[in-house]
Amino acid sequence: MTDDPETRPNRYDLGRVFDEVPELYDRVRPGYPDELFADLAAVTGLDHRSSVLEVGCGTGQATRSLAARGCSVTAVEAGVDMAAFARNRLASFHNVEVETSTFEEWDNRGRRFDVLVAASSWHWVDPLIGRRRAHDVLHPGGWMALLGHVVVRRPGEPEVYAETADLHERFYPGNPDWGHPPLEEDVRGTDEGWGPVDDPGGLFGPTVVRWYPTVQWFDGEGFADLLRSQSLYRRLDRDVREPLLDAIAERIRTRMGDRASRRYLSVLRVGQRAG
């Protein structure tokens, strides 16, 4: 997407599209492996005494894993329906509070935290505001952790986009976001910095980067539902999106034996607050 300042607000508004489908999002989106949270705790010293701020908690997928470690979690979520879904899913945890707000407008009421976590959400935050806020809401020596998933492929392995590129072009030709996922080995080589989001500069120290291979399996209808939960498809007009996804589901049924994988490298990027 463009980083033109005149169009940037539209980029962050796209984050609201997930608020339309919280149940679907929670059902089909990949979670994060336990090993990732174990490494997060090992790097940051996170334990039951720690305070965590989660930015953009969505339906609470990562929040549940954080809360299970016994730390105190304040989760901020801009989507009203997403936040309500998260509160319901997290009701059994007494160490979690979900607050409805964007991170840019959130009132921290003077609170400071040991660790800030953003799971597949930091790219929706305006970096001109977010990186300074992240620094300022952390205690000295606190940590910022960005969690995410990168869709990847392996050579010679059947992959949905390779089987459906013609459908994508038929229903929405020329979309610059269409394309094959990168090779897993190429992504593993990008093990420095904060990844595709804006670098916070001198506000945080060098990053620790860890990769975790994961895979989901779907039938045709399930894979179509996965795509329905993603901003790339949700921002298409419904009369384009639904015929496209129906055709993708049918292609998976007829050409892939109704069994398709979505392969990821989950990633943890952690840096310590400077100053």
pLDDT-wise least confident of 10-19, 121-130, 207-216, 236-245: 10-19
Q: So what's the pLDDT on residue 199? A: 82
Mean pLDDT of all residues in 169-186: 96
Q: Residue 215 belongs to what H/E stretch?
A: strand 204-218
Q: How confident is the prediction for the chain on average, in pLDDT?
A: 91
Taking residues 201-208, report their average pLDDT: 92
pLDDT value of residue 6: 32
How many Cβ atoms from other residues are within 10 Å of residue 133's Cβ? 18
Note the pLDDT tens digit of each residue in 53-71: 999 999 999 999 999 999 9
What pLDDT sits at residue 16? Answer: 54
pLDDT score of 25: 76
What's the mean pLDDT in 155-168?
A: 95
Say what the pLDDT of residue 130 is: 95
The label of the residue with tokens 């400077």 reads 274
pTM score: 0.88
Which of 158, 150, 155, 170 lies closest to 218, judged by CA?
158
pLDDT digits over 91-108, tens only? Answer: 999 999 999 999 999 999
Angle between helix axes 160-171 and 238-255 (nearest 10 degrees) is 140
Structure confidence at residue 18 as a pLDDT band (50, 70, 90): low
Whole-angstrom distance, CA of residue 106 vs CA of residue 19:
18
* Banded pLDDT at 192 (limits 50, 70, 90): confident
Is the pLDDT score of 197 beyond 90?
Answer: no
Mean pLDDT of 200-219: 94
Please report the sign of the dihedral spanned by the C-alpha atoms of residue 262, residue 2, residue 22, residue 248.
Answer: negative
Residue 186 pLDDT more than 80? yes
Segment 185-207 mean pLDDT: 86
Separation between Cα atoms, residue 204 and residue 273, nearest integer Å: 4
Q: Which H or E run includes 88?
A: helix 80-89
pLDDT score at 189: 82
**Per-residue confidence (pLDDT) for residue 7, from 0 to 100:** 31
pLDDT-based confidence at residue 80 (cuts at 50, 70, 90)? very high
The two three-digit tokens of residue 260, written as one number: 């398709």
Counting every residue written for the chain, the total comes to 275
- Arithmetic mean of pLDDT, 219-248: 95
* C-alpha torsion sign, points 158, 161, 165, 168: positive
Asked whether residue 8 carries a pLDDT value surpassing 60, the answer given is no
CA–CA dist 121, 117 (Å, integer): 9
